[in-house]
Structure formats: structure tokens, C-alpha cells
Amino acid sequence: MLISCSNNHPVAASAADTSGAGRKWWKEAVVYQIYPRSFKDDNGDGIGDLKGIISKLDYIKSLGVNVVWLNPIYSSPNDDNGYDISDYRNIMKDFGTMADFDTLLSEMHRRNIRLVMDLVVNHTSDEHPWFQQSRSSRTNPYRNYYHWWNAERGKPTPRWSFFDVNSDAWKYDSLTKAYYLHYFSRKQPDLNWENPTVRREVDDIMKFWLDKGIDGFRMDAFQFVAKDTTWPVFPPGYEKDINRYYGMGPHLHDYLQEMNREVISKYDIMTVAEGAGSTLEDAHALVDPDRHELSMAYSFEGINLGHGSPDYSLLDFKKVYSKWDSAFAEKGWLSIFLANHDQPRMVSHWGNDSPAFRAVSSKMLTTFIMTMRGTPYYYNGDEIGMRNIRFDKIEDYRDIATINKYKEVQHKGGDLKAFLQEQQQTSRDNSRTPFQWDSTTNAGFTTGTPWIEVNPDYTSVNASAQENDPQSILNYFRHAVQLRKDNLVLVYGQYTLLDKDNPDVYAYTREGYGKTMLILLNFRAHPATVGPDVDLSHASLQLNNYPDAPSSDTLRPYEARVYEIMPD
């Protein structure tokens, strides 16, 4: 399937840049995202852990990826699976110890894999000592670490909460007769970034981990950290577009520039904020290198298409990715991803997870991610084509987002059946089921009882079954990663959309570093043709997701082809 493959050379940040300045290791990286709770359980308690990850480092290395982004592993009461942190300088008991962490980091570095950690500082856990202090009295020195609204002022200005059972981001606390703000769950009170002492605390937390040698941060929910504390009233329906109303708050860029000055600029790291505001200008401002803020933007406009359902319009998909590419053609840098721990499975959302097309459509989507400009982020399990588990009862779910929304629908007398049906496509738990290593009990994830059910398809969908099959999704992923690493044109080269109005095929070229690559992706379960602006006369096939080479210009269902265009 990989038709030609040059030598495996390491990604070198120091190599000469034929197109001028701007080469960076994090632009040339392939990021592999690990959800630690579900990756590999070492001690049999049913929960993935750091020792489990360590035991799989050779597998991770074998993928060819060179950066790992680890979802939060800090001490946490786990209201939101680690996104509610009670101690930023310690490891969650379920996951192991700081000694395990130190081993993990050094074993990763020994294999030339860098580590990016999740930085969750829009909020803490309500069990964090800062919040315990803050809520204890109105005059406590930590009071101002969070946002409080004293009850004698009446009800606070409405704000919408992601995980609250009433969608209400203000929670009344009778101890001091005041409301505190929580954009996420009640156990995730929002930190007050307007307080400079809080920002100094965050700097210190970052330095603590950077001084251990980690290679960057993914900054959780970051577009919400800065708040307009005059608490303006928004028009009805504001909750449908909270990003526009209160994403990217007044001083967000000041805070980032300050953080860059105090911390980021002192290390060779990559930084990426979750979300990129609601306009291209917002996104640009985050990552324009002249502004000294972050490395790259992680925009949701693409991932939000289709709302988790495969019934999205390919024309819209092409439009969004082309728009973002052109907006960042000269300056700044993007992330390319089709899944993460907050999304359904890649193949279930963007491809076709039926037995006939699961493999071929997974490979096609992988081809897209590995041939676009921007740094690819690939979510663990997608490399073996894991699919949505589609729970049919609420008791199977573990995610606070699904559980609390269910309660809200129930409370309002809504249609619970319809809600559960929709969750089968959209719930975050679809991508949080245990990694399927092999066909033994619990997919080889744990010898105990897994914290969330294993997808019963593991007997056929697992890494071990794919390891030695040259045609497997897993080995295709490895080839696609290698192709990107071998061809800087796929990292930096100019992107041009072809056959723009084709509703079935995504076709584009990448040009630069003395090469032109042509990528053809059929997003449909039926054969599809390409328009006259796609010229295959000098095209030499480099990668194809079918075992037998194409015999015509017509693309087979979900076919992906990467060609190099040879000079006349």
C-alpha cells in the first residue's frame, strides 16, 4: 500500500529551511493523544495508569508519532475525569505516583517522543485547597481566587454552564451567602484570572512541570479564562453561542503575552489552547508569532460540522478547511484533527463504521489528517479504527456531560429516548472506552473490571489482530505518518483545493520543497470521479488505501490516493 518510502530520518528542527524561516519541531510533529484512564491498566484495578502507558511506549514509538499529549493526570476527585484538579503538583492516585511520571517522561525522551501535558486552569476542583479557603469566608485571602457574587446583590447575571443540571453557571453557597461561578460542573469553580496572584500561581505550576522537562501544554478551555467582570447581560438565546458572547474575554491576549514573557519564552516548547475563538481574527491573534502568545491554534469549526453525525456536507467540510488554510497561509499555524476525548470516534463521525467500510474509511480519514498543512493530532484508538460503543441505557455512561444532561431532560419532561439515541452518536464516552489491545478478556486493557464497558467488537477490532497484517488500518496509519515525515512538502507546502464543487471527493495539491503532491479522497460509499482540473498524467502513486493498485481514474468507495506529480 505504501508504494515508495524513503529512509526513516528523524524530524530535525535544525535542518535547513528552503522556504525561509519558520521551521519548528512542533510544526513537523505528529501528536498522539492518550486518554490515560482508558489506555492500559497495569495494576488490575480497571483504570488505565502511567505504568500501563510505560508498558506501551514501544507500541507508541512504532506508530512513528513523536509527541504525546496526555489528558490530565493530576490529583483529582474525578468529577470530570481529571479535568477537576485538586493538586496541580501531584499525580492522581488512580494513575500512579510522581516516580512513575518521572519514569514515563524519561522513557519517552529516550525514545525521542516529546510530552505535552494538559493545563487545566480555567477552573480547579472545588476540593482544591484554594477553593476550600476561598469559600470559607468573605475575607479569606483566597476569596478573590474565584468569582463570587454576594447574594445581597440579588441574582447574578445569567451565565450558561456546560455540565450543570440546570445549565446554570452560578451556584449558591450558603456558608458565605454568595454565588460562585462554574462554567463547567459545580465541582469545577472558575478561577479569577483578573487577579494577578492567580496568574502568578499558574506561571509557577507551568514552571514546575517544564522544569521536569516536559515539552509543552495543551491549555484546556482557555478561551474562557478571561472574564468581563462587569457581568454584562446578554440577549436571550446567548447560550447558543457563548463563544461569541464571552469567549476570548477582555484581557485574554494580555494574559497570554504575560505568560509568554514569564514562562513560555524561556523554554523550547509547544503551546496550544483549546478552541480558537469565534473568528479567524481571534485565532490569528493567538498564534501570530509577532505577538508572542501561543504556537498553534486548535479551532472547532471543522470538528463541529455534522454535530457528531456522518450526515455532514463534504462541500462545507472542504470550505472550512480551505478557509482556515488560506487564513494561515502566511502566518501562524494550525492543528488538524478529526477526533479527541470530547468527540465521538473518528470513523463513526466522519467515515462509515459499518463492517464493509470501517477499515477503508478510517484509512481515508487518516490520509486527510496526514496530508494537510498544520500539526496532526491523532486520538488513541483511531489508528485501529475503534468505533462508537453506542450505549443504550444511561447506567452505562460515566461522563458527567451525558449524565447531567440526561437529568436536565428528565427534569424538564423532555424526550429521554430521543436524548439517548442522540448520545449514541455524540456522547464523549464513545471515545473513552478502553483501548482494544487484543482479543483476550476486556480487550487486554485490564485484568480487573474496567471503569467503563469495553466495546464488544474488540474480538475483531484490536491492535494485535492488525499488527502483522500489512493491509491493516494500523499499518496504514504507520505508513501515512512515515510519508508525512519523509515529505516536508506535506508539512509546509502550499495547499490548493481542486474540483471545488465535487460533493463526493476532496482533492487538493500540496506544493513546495521541490515537490508537488496530489491527494484524492472519496468521502462516499460509492465510486466517484474527479473533475477535469485533476490531472493524473504525470502522477506517481505514493499511498493508496486499497490492496490492489487503482486501475482507473474512478475512485472506489472511500478510496484515498496520494500521488507525487513528476516533472515532464
Chain residues that interact with ligand GLC, rule: CB under 6 A = 80, 83, 120, 184, 220-221, 274, 341-342
Can you say whether the dihedral through the CA atoms of 388, 390, 391, 394 is positive or negative?
Answer: positive
Q: Which does 120 bind (CB under 5 to 8 A by kind): Ca ion, ligand GLC, none?
A: ligand GLC
CB-wise, 299 or 367, nearer to ligand GLC?
A: 299
- 258 catalytic per annotation: no
Helices (H), 236-313: 242-246, 252-262, 280-287
Instruction: For residue 47, state whether it binds Ca ion (rule: CB under 5 A).
Output: yes
| Measured distance CA(275)–CA(77) in Å, rounded | 25
Q: Which does 43 bind (CB under 5 to 8 A by kind): ligand GLC, Ca ion, none?
A: Ca ion
CB-count exposure of residue 264 (10 Å: 0-12, 13-18, 19+) = buried
Can you say whether the dihedral through the CA atoms of 549, 554, 557, 562 is positive or negative?
Answer: positive
Closest separation in Å from C-beta 403 to ligand GLC: 13
- The grid coordinates of residue 540 equal 506517481
- Of the residues 80, 164, 194, 274, which is catalytic? 274
Nearest to 2 by CA among 425, 482, 488: 482
CB-wise, 206 or 481, nearer to ligand GLC?
A: 206
CB-wise, 223 or 509, nearer to ligand GLC?
A: 223
Closest separation in Å from C-beta 495 to ligand GLC: 27
Instruction: For residue 103, state whether it binds Ca ion (rule: CB under 5 A).
Output: no
Instruction: For residue 167, state whether it binds Ca ion (rule: CB under 5 A).
Output: no
Instruction: For residue 45, state whether it binds Ca ion (rule: CB under 5 A).
Output: yes
| Measured distance CA(320)–CA(224) in Å, rounded | 23
What's the angle, vertex CA 50, arms to CA 48 and CA 53, rounded to 5?
80
Q: Which does 184 bind (CB under 5 to 8 A by kind): ligand GLC, Ca ion, none?
A: ligand GLC
CB-wise, 45 or 173, nearer to Ca ion?
A: 45
Closest separation in Å from C-beta 325 to Ca ion: 41
Q: Which does 508 bind (CB under 5 to 8 A by kind): Ca ion, ligand GLC, none?
A: none
User: Which residues make Cβ contacts (< 8 Å) with residue 474, sequence separation at least 6?
Assistant: 383, 384, 463, 466, 467
Q: If DSSP codes are grouped into helix, strand and coil, which group holds residue 373?
A: coil
Site string for Ca ion, 48-87 (x = CB under 5 A): -x--------------------------------------
Give the CB-side neighbour count of residue 294, counting CA atoms within 13 A. 29
Q: Which does 220 bind (CB under 5 to 8 A by kind): ligand GLC, Ca ion, none?
A: ligand GLC
Single-letter residue type at 298: Y
- 395 catalytic per annotation: no
Nearest to 371 by CA among 494, 501, 551: 494
- Of the residues 100, 220, 499, 504, which is catalytic? 220
Instruction: For residue 100, state whether it binds Ca ion (rule: CB under 5 A).
Output: no
CB-wise, 95 or 508, nearer to Ca ion?
A: 95
Q: Residue with the closest Cβ to ligand GLC?
A: 83
Instruction: For residue 322, state whether it binds Ca ion (rule: CB under 5 A).
Output: no
Q: Are the C-beta atoms of residues 268 and 29 closer than 8 Å to each other?
A: no
Pairing of strands 67-70, 148-150: unpaired
Q: Which does 47 bind (CB under 5 to 8 A by kind): ligand GLC, Ca ion, none?
A: Ca ion
What are the residue numbers of the active site? 220, 274
- Residues forming the site for Ca ion (CB under 5 A): 41, 43, 45, 47, 49
